[in-house]
């Protein structure tokens, strides 16, 4: 059970880091946009956070599909039997 838990953590850690990193960068850009008159930075920050969230969601769904696909699909029968 320990190995399976470690594998699941390794599988889902990159999407979590993508979301955290995307939102962190977005907040930094928003702070920079408030300090300056560059309003396009706030727009870029919003799109960046949305892209990070979408990419992380897609990766998490792909990982889930890969993990659970092996349980749903029985192994192919060999022709020699």
Mean pLDDT value of segment 48-62: 83
Residue 35 belongs to some domain of the structure: yes
Which comes out higher in pLDDT, residue 78 or 46? 46
Domain count, the chain: 1
Inside any domain, residue 80: no
Parent domain of 10: 2-71
Question: What is the reported pLDDT for 73?
Answer: 59
Residue 77 lies in a domain: no
- Residue 55 makes CB contacts below 8 A (sequence gap 6+) with 15, 18, 22
The per-residue pLDDT for range 23-33, each reduced to its tens digit, is: 888 888 888 88
Those residues whose C-beta lies under 8 Å from the C-beta of residue 59, and which sit 6 or more positions away, are 14, 15, 18
């Amino acid at each position: 059970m320990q190995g399976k838990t470690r594998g699941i953590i390794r599988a889902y850690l990159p999407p979590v880091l993508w979301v955290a990193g995307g939102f962190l960068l977005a907040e930094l850009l928003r702070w920079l946009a408030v300090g300056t008159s560059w309003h396009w930075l706030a727009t870029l920050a919003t799109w960046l956070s949305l892209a990070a969230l979408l990419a992380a969601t897609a990766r998490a769904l792909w990982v889930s599909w890969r993990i659970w696909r092996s349980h749903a699909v029985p192994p192919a029968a060999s022709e020699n039997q």
